[in-house]
A and B are shown apart, each in its own frame.
Chain A
């Protein structure tokens, strides 16, 4: 019997763990990632060209990761495709079995000679991760305003500092590693601002404390970051947020304000801080375009929409597994457990294997941790109070909040797709990756009712619907793909 072929999309903590267990289960594995190196956002590595002498200096769990990486990449049944983007998933016809065909482009994204390939497999594991979510505020389109993830990636991946005087603001424990990597790279961090007030954060974290014991590694990591902030005397404030960025051509100062529990601004609490950069993060958005293209059902939660998976990490789409941040924001340990589970089962491993009990327990603890995170660091319902009519809500197309309100309020233009065409929000180069969930949330609130009902034959105009998942050049598209010999 030929071993099953598993395609793993994404080589971060979840994808790498999935590749490992699929190989142990005996499968042929194709592991692909858009980056040059495995590791994802969590174990972001310096490119080879930088030849970092001690890449582990900015990294947690480096050794275990490095061991796993070598084992997987050197395995004879593993095909490793770096610099590979999935531009489309092609669903089979309803009566045909099997997962979607994975359409990829191989080669550096800016290179002229990418190769187009179609990949058929017995199972597909999606481990594509998340990017950080940023809520709009006046001035957020100015140069010098960074997402926490972008600032951290620059610091970790290229040792570039985003500024000399930086404020880090938003919500969630991710604020700490962002600030720590800025300090490490040489920036002065003027303040770290957590928008949620101490009672919310404390209540969220302290419930059922015994569950946290399982996340000791994660907690220890955060303590280390916090210690770095103390060492550098960085003031950390809760219940405070950046509500505006100002500057002539780039950010020169930010306005911070005290927030109530629902994130409404306490009048008179505004302060101005001179900065040359500000890093903002309001949690994470899972990258859902591939799961949605595959036809996977999503589930809503207080932290947003995620891929719905069963106890075995199976999605609603036959042969498609999902793991890591696309199923819930729970951090690297949970992502690894989910990946290991998904890889083993996708690779034809014994569903009754005793080791799965341990993985499932880790996964469940991770999910509990994700809920705890969501409770401790919610996005307050009153945040749109920061917006002014002229505040940009879509940075690519510079759509302002007033235009969005006007389109949604008028019955002739209120359908989501018409709002998009009318206001151009989401039509720009990022294809609504940044603004999509925000525009959907604002539209639903302005309308006071749920989004459009689906119409037969038309894709739901949801914020994650991007059938072309990554840009593909017209010339590349015109070429017929070669099918992978496997």
Chain B
């Protein structure tokens, strides 16, 4: 397993529980990169009907089972995950947004998503501090939240208990290929041999795949999150602006912001979100934070006086067609991919891991995985991209 973020951790657990001998390798520490810089979304609400929604629904069903399984042997690790099935509320603030949101929800309902229309009173009861200036609101009872680093740690803890091995501070620098088959990877600490290698390197999956000789088009897409000082209970669901769905689905290189506001168990309010394709540039950009703050105040005008005490940013693994990559690499036997979830990797990790296990062990899958195959133009078409897209 190449990568000890949440996807690598979830995959390691599935495989180890199935009796596979698993070694997890990461050049940094476990769960310290993209996993520890997100909000912990487990969402169905932001996905349009299609293969990703199916994966999200499957993952949402799996999460409570997975956590219950972990709690049997590691109750402390399971508790630290802070699983909160608190539901999401999507608020539109324009007439056009209301029309769009209603149509979107109708289509989701047809695909089995629970989406309840909230009138003004119901919204005020559910979220007393949200703006009165809204045109539509929907509640998605199945949206949930986790503390993402703890979630990855819990999955990994269970994997280790089931016999997996973890090597941190160990960077993969090259491939050992024999007769067209990937039989080993080179690290500064020596070779690691295995029957299968899973690329779970998140936004670095493209670079890792290139080192192994089978490039895939995964790029970083930066996001920033603001953290307020702890407040008395003010925000009760994951509340977001209807234009968030548009931003998630867009491919724009330039800055996009949309409000996502939620509380954590510690009392702080987390405020996202932004999307920028700037490579791995980690510089703080005040205008990005301003954009996020302004959008959040449109939803919660009463938060204007609340101090922001911290901001953090991370890099989502972005694939041009916005779909994850799950499965065997047809160009290099022995190489598998599990990644490209963009901002949804926390939520989709457990479903992805189940599918990967099924594929690796030749078992039937619960949902159709054709859309996630490696062999598709968005993933392999690195050269087809205009050159300007690579600059940022």
Q: How far is the CA of A293 from the CA of B285 in the complex (A)?
A: 12
Please choose the segment from A222-230, A246-254, A372-380, A417-425 that sits at the chain B interface, where 4 or more of its residues have CB less than 8 A away. Answer: A417-425
Residue B80, interface by CB 8 Å: yes
Q: How far is the CA of A413 from the CA of B148 in the complex (A)?
A: 12
Q: How far is the CA of A427 from the CA of B264 in the complex (A)?
A: 12
- List residues of chain B with CB within 8 A of the CB of A89: 284
Q: How far is the CA of A480 from the CA of B297 in the complex (A)?
A: 14
Q: How far is the CB of A317 from chain B (nearest CB, A)?
A: 12
- List residues of chain B with CB within 8 A of the CB of A91: 283-284
Q: How far is the CB of B301 from chain A (nearest CB, A)?
A: 9
Can you name 30 A-B pairs with beta carbons within 8 Å? A411-B160, A412-B31, A412-B152, A412-B154, A413-B30, A414-B168, A415-B28, A415-B32, A418-B31, A418-B153, A421-B150, A427-B268, A429-B229, A429-B230, A429-B309, A452-B28, A453-B27, A456-B280, A457-B220, A458-B314, A472-B307, A472-B308, A473-B306, A473-B308, A474-B228, A474-B306, A475-B304, A477-B293, A478-B294, A479-B290
Q: Mark A445-476, 1 if CB is under 8 A from B, else 0.
A: 00000001101111101000011100111110
Q: Which of B152, B160, B284, B304 contacts A473 (CB 8 A)?
A: B304
Q: Mark B304-326, 1 if CB is under 8 A from A, else 0.
A: 11111111101100000000000
- List residues of chain A with CB within 8 A of the CB of B297: 474-475, 478
Q: How far is the CA of A480 from the CA of B293 in the complex (A)?
A: 11
Q: How far is the CA of A475 from the CA of B166 in the complex (A)?
A: 45
Q: How far is the CB of A140 from chain B (nearest CB, A)?
A: 22
Q: How far is the CA of A414 from the CA of B154 in the complex (A)?
A: 13
Q: How far is the CB of B230 from chain A (nearest CB, A)?
A: 8
Q: How far is the CA of A250 from the CA of B9 in the complex (A)?
A: 45
Q: How far is the CA of A458 from the CA of B266 in the complex (A)?
A: 24
Contact across chains for A103 and B229 when beta carbons are under 8 A apart: no
- List residues of chain A with CB within 8 A of the CB of B293: 474-475, 477-478
Contact across chains for B305 and A468 when beta carbons are under 8 A apart: no
Contact across chains for A478 and B290 when beta carbons are under 8 A apart: yes
Contact across chains for A471 and B157 when beta carbons are under 8 A apart: no
Q: How far is the CB of B251 from chain A (nearest CB, A)?
A: 20
Residue A312, interface by CB 8 Å: no
Q: Mark B60-99, 1 if CB is under 8 A from A, else 0.
A: 0000000000000000010010000000000000000000
| Beyond known contacts A457-B220, A467-B311: 14 more, CB 8 A cutoff | A91-B284, A415-B168, A416-B29, A418-B149, A421-B36, A421-B150, A427-B268, A431-B310, A453-B28, A458-B32, A478-B293, A479-B290, A480-B287, A481-B290
Q: Which of A415, A466, A467, A471 contacts B31 (CB 8 A)?
A: A415
Q: How far is the CA of A452 from the CA of B36 in the complex (A)?
A: 14
- List residues of chain B with CB within 8 A of the CB of A474: 226, 228, 271, 293, 296-297, 303-308
Contact across chains for B309 and A471 when beta carbons are under 8 A apart: yes
**Quick one: which of A293, A475, A480 has the most chain B CB within 10 A?**
A475
- List residues of chain B with CB within 8 A of the CB of A478: 290, 293-294, 296-297, 304
Question: What is the number of contacts between chain A and chain B, taking CB atoms within 8 Å?
Answer: 160
Contact across chains for B290 and A477 when beta carbons are under 8 A apart: yes
Q: How far is the CA of A461 from the CA of B281 in the complex (A)?
A: 16
Q: Mark A393-415, 1 if CB is under 8 A from B, else 0.
A: 00001000000000000111111
Closest chain B residue to A295 by CB distance? B283
The tally of residues in A whose CB lies under 8 Å from a CB in B reads 47
The tally of residues in B whose CB lies under 8 Å from a CB in A reads 61
Q: How far is the CB of B276 from chain A (nearest CB, A)?
A: 13
- List residues of chain A with CB within 8 A of the CB of B296: 474, 478
Q: How far is the CA of A458 from the CA of B35 in the complex (A)?
A: 12
- List residues of chain B with CB within 8 A of the CB of A417: 29, 32, 36, 149
Closest chain A residue to B165 by CB distance? A411
Contact across chains for B307 and A471 when beta carbons are under 8 A apart: yes
- List residues of chain A with CB within 8 A of the CB of B154: 412
Residue B193, interface by CB 8 Å: no
Q: How far is the CA of A459 from the CA of B37 in the complex (A)?
A: 11
- List residues of chain A with CB within 8 A of the CB of B309: 429, 431, 468, 471
A-B pairs with lowest CB-CB distance, top 7: A415-B29, A457-B280, A475-B304, A415-B32, A471-B307, A477-B293, A412-B156
Q: How far is the CA of A203 from the CA of B293 in the complex (A)?
A: 56
Contact across chains for B266 and A427 when beta carbons are under 8 A apart: yes
Contact across chains for A411 and B166 when beta carbons are under 8 A apart: yes
Contact across chains for B36 and A418 when beta carbons are under 8 A apart: yes
Closest chain A residue to B297 by CB distance? A478
Residue A90, interface by CB 8 Å: yes
Q: How far is the CA of A468 from the CA of B308 in the complex (A)?
A: 8
Q: Which of A112, A453, A477 contacts B308 (CB 8 A)?
A: A477
Residue A349, interface by CB 8 Å: no
A interface with B by C-beta (< 8 Å): 88-91, 93, 103, 112, 118, 293, 397, 410-418, 421-422, 424, 427-429, 431, 452-453, 455-459, 461, 466-468, 471-475, 477-481
Residue B17, interface by CB 8 Å: no
Closest chain A residue to B291 by CB distance? A478
Residue B147, interface by CB 8 Å: yes
Q: How far is the CB of A338 from chain B (nearest CB, A)?
A: 27
- List residues of chain A with CB within 8 A of the CB of B359: none
Q: How far is the CA of A479 from the CA of B286 in the complex (A)?
A: 11
Q: How far is the CA of A477 from the CA of B224 in the complex (A)?
A: 14
Contact across chains for B153 and A118 when beta carbons are under 8 A apart: no
Q: Knowing A455-B33, A473-B308 touch, does A410 contact B203 (C-beta < 8 A)?
A: no
**Quick one: which of A418, A422, A472, A475 has the most chain B CB within 10 A?**
A418
Q: How far is the CB of A432 from chain B (nearest CB, A)?
A: 10
Q: How far is the CB of A433 from chain B (nearest CB, A)?
A: 11
Q: How far is the CA of A474 from the CA of B296 in the complex (A)?
A: 9
- List residues of chain A with CB within 8 A of the CB of B153: 410, 412-413, 418, 422
- List residues of chain A with CB within 8 A of the CB of B33: 455, 458
Contact across chains for B285 and A90 when beta carbons are under 8 A apart: yes
Contacting residues of chain B (174-190) with chain A, CB-CB under 8 angstroms: none
Contact across chains for A410 and B32 when beta carbons are under 8 A apart: no
**Quick one: which of A417, A431, A471, A477 has the most chain B CB within 10 A?**
A477
Q: How far is the CB of A472 from chain B (nearest CB, A)?
A: 5
Q: How far is the CB of B194 from chain A (nearest CB, A)?
A: 19
Closest chain A residue to B265 by CB distance? A424
- List residues of chain A with CB within 8 A of the CB of B286: 88, 90, 103, 118, 481
Q: How far is the CB of B317 from chain A (nearest CB, A)?
A: 12
Q: How far is the CB of B384 from chain A (nearest CB, A)?
A: 25
Residue B169, interface by CB 8 Å: yes
Q: How far is the CA of A150 from the CA of B60 in the complex (A)?
A: 50
**Quick one: which of A88, A415, A472 has the most chain B CB within 10 A?**
A415
Contacting residues of chain B (1-58) with chain A, CB-CB under 8 angstroms: 9, 27-33, 36-37
Q: How far is the CB of B280 from chain A (nearest CB, A)?
A: 3
Q: Knowing A90-B285, A418-B36, A474-B308 touch, does A480 contact B290 (C-beta < 8 A)?
A: yes
- List residues of chain A with CB within 8 A of the CB of B289: 477
Q: Knowing A429-B229, A478-B304 touch, does A418 contact B310 (C-beta < 8 A)?
A: no
Q: How far is the CA of A452 from the CA of B310 in the complex (A)?
A: 21
Q: Knowing A412-B30, A458-B33 touch, does A424 contact B266 (C-beta < 8 A)?
A: yes
- List residues of chain B with CB within 8 A of the CB of A455: 27-28, 32-33
